[in-house]
Amino acid sequence: MPDGVNLIAITKWMAYGQRAEETGTRSNPFGLRTCPRKYKRRTKGMKVKFMGAARTVTGSCFILETGEHRFAIDCGMHQGNGEIEKRNWETKIYDAAKIECILMTHAHIDHAGLLPRIVKEGFRGSIYATPPTIDLLKILLLDSAHIQEMEAQWKTRKHLRQGDGENYVEPLYIRKDAEEVTQYFKAVDYDQTITPFAGLTATFRDAGHILGASILELGVTENGKVSKLVFSGDIGRPAQLIIKDPTVIETADYLFMESTYGNRDHKNETDSLNELAEAVAYSYRNGQKVIIPSFAVERTQELLYCLHLLDREGRLPRDMPVYVDSPLATQATEIFRKYTNYFDEEAKGLLKKGEDPLTFPQLHFTRSTEESIKINTSTGPAVVVSASGMANAGRIRHHLRHNLWREGASVVFVGFQAQGTTGRRIVDGAKIIRIFNEDLAVKARIFTINGFSAHAGQSQLLEWLGCFRSQALQVFLIHGEYSAQQTLAGLIRERFGLPVTIPDYLEEITLKPGEAIERTAAPEQAVSRIDWNYIILDMENRLKQLRERQSRIEAKGWVEQSEVRERLLELNRRLTTLISDL
């Protein structure tokens, strides 16, 4: 028996070996890193399964099967309403232990937020990404884990207050899970080609989206034939500040292209900067605050650049403080400073002249909760930049709660607002917004400045696609809402004569060179159909029952009648808000 190994250890080893057979990993109780068991596929043809970002803009993850190998592009979190976010808990279908490697396009949570969950469930391969993406992921995943822990604690306390002490809410993952991910990172520079395994090459190109974001060019060899697949990731908006323009790709057999803004274009950069200046001037005149929900990575840094320009032009009052109220955004800004070699030529030129585009005299970074609270108790005009960008989590919800109802205040949206989020409801014109179980009137002036988006607009997507010279190119639209994808698909067919497919959630396609694609529809339970007739009829029946009990209500005492009245008025307010949102 080797030194240091006893009978108990061998027993543990045998138990782990049994679990490894069940999960497909060769793990061990001594903490040694091992490789995933080789995946054995029974059918011919390369398969792509759409685990997310299919007719939605979040949850990006695509699992590919080729030869005897299985790997993934991205591993994003589903974000939006409750039904969409339930998908984050259904990760057993990823079969994590049999994924050999993950190729990351960039660090945003909707592309990377489920990495800790997948590692927790048995993934033991390599995670390939650019150096800036790796550094950003280290802070973003820890922040995401903190949010998961806090939300689980809040829900557990809520159950306790309701007398349901046994209903403990488990977080999606915890800080330790996020920390475990980092050991699997492998850095890949732009324009570097790697070979994760025999039969697969991958080259990372600059996507022009956020710091370190990539377009992935894949070469897949099957039966002696090489197919080229391109995953666009999120294609950047040309001429955006700090970041270089997206790399032009000219050849591919299969293109998986994002379509976030497939149905509209952005305002130009000058108009967007002027509109931001207008929001600042409006709230400054009224002595109120400008609230800007912003993603911590890239969007906040671009906003700082814009505010730097406004200050230089004299359009940002010197007595109007600007708060970046997001510890994560503060950390991300430091990472941007570390990787100035990734900046575009204009930003590099400013740095060479000694001008820092990410700072100005009015700027304050807040870290502690106490500092954040002080912003809302302070009086006078200010600009508050805070996460999250879709206003569905984070400190921004507190700032909205204190300012959304104030006439003279401004709320400036500078990025895409997904369906089901608080930001989307505000942008769509809701008159009442519910935050922290409180209904808030929307009295602030709402600005939507998509010119700050890190995503290409419709015309820019078409221009990027137009650079491809492959006559037999097949296009798959991902990462977009279905209506936007339908619009973009029509334009692609009309302008380029290319075949376009819009995959659905959990749909699987089989690709065989020179043959038509084969589509396997998603399981019926993947996207459950909603029986609206039943729901509305049931509500009508409930109202009928209430009418039948009216005499019982009138027989109660005045105090009891008042309580019933308040409960009904609350239901009526919620229904009125729902109808106005539609």
Cis before 388 (ω within 30) = yes
pLDDT score for 9? 40
pLDDT score for 541? 87
- Angstrom distances, CA of residue 36 to CA of 65, 71, 486: 14, 11, 39
**Which CATH number characterizes residue 286's domain?**
3.40.50.10890
Q: Can you tell me the distance from the alpha carbon of 579 to that of 582, in angstroms, rounded to the nearest whole number?
A: 5
pLDDT score for 42? 47
Number of domains forming the structure of the chain = 4
Please indicate, yes or no, whether residues 468 and 506 belong to a single structural domain of this protein.
yes
**Paired residues of 446 in beta bridges:** 411
Please indicate, yes or no, whether residues 440 and 499 belong to a single structural domain of this protein.
no
pTM of the entire structure? 0.82
Q: Which amino acid is it at 432?
A: I
Indicate the DSSP class of residue 295.
Answer: -
Lateral strand order in the sheet of 363-365: 363-365, 322-324, 382-386, 289-293, 410-413, 445-448
Q: How far apart are the first and last CA of the chain?
A: 71
Q: Is residue 482 part of a domain?
A: yes
**Which CATH number characterizes residue 53's domain?**
3.60.15.10
Q: Is residue 528 part of a domain?
A: no
pLDDT score for 178? 98
How many CB atoms sit inside 10 A of residue 389's CB?
27
Please indicate, yes or no, whether residues 284 and 202 belong to a single structural domain of this protein.
no
Please indicate, yes or no, whether residues 192 and 278 belong to a single structural domain of this protein.
no
Q: Is residue 526 part of a domain?
A: no
| 3-state SS track over 302-370 | HHHHHHHHHHHCCCCCCCCCEEECCHHHHHHHHHHHHCHHHECHHHHHHHHCCCCCCCCCCEEECCCHH
| 3-state SS track over 85-129 | HHHHHCHHHHCHHHCCEEECCCCCHHHHCCHHHHHHCCCCCEEEE
Rounded mean pLDDT for each run of 10 residues along the chain, 582 residues in total? 40 41 41 49 80 96 94 95 90 97 97 98 98 98 94 85 78 97 98 96 98 98 92 95 96 98 92 96 97 93 96 97 95 96 96 95 94 94 94 91 96 87 91 90 94 92 97 96 97 97 96 91 69 85 89 87 85 82 72
Q: What domain range includes position 549?
A: 533-576
Phi/psi for 251 (5° steps) reads: -135, 145
Q: Which amino acid is it at 226?
A: V
pLDDT score for 498? 97
Domain final residue pick, 452, 470, 494: 452
Q: Can you tell me the distance from the alpha carbon of 293 to that of 505, in angstroms, rounded to the nearest whole number?
A: 28
Q: With left for phi above 0 and alpha for psi between -120 and 50, is residue 397 left, alpha or beta?
A: alpha
Please indicate, yes or no, whether residues 435 and 459 belong to a single structural domain of this protein.
no
- Contact (CB, 8 A) for 201 and 193: yes
- Contact (CB, 8 A) for 168 and 155: no
pLDDT score for 125? 98
| Four-CA torsion 192, 455, 82, 60, nearest 10 degrees | -20
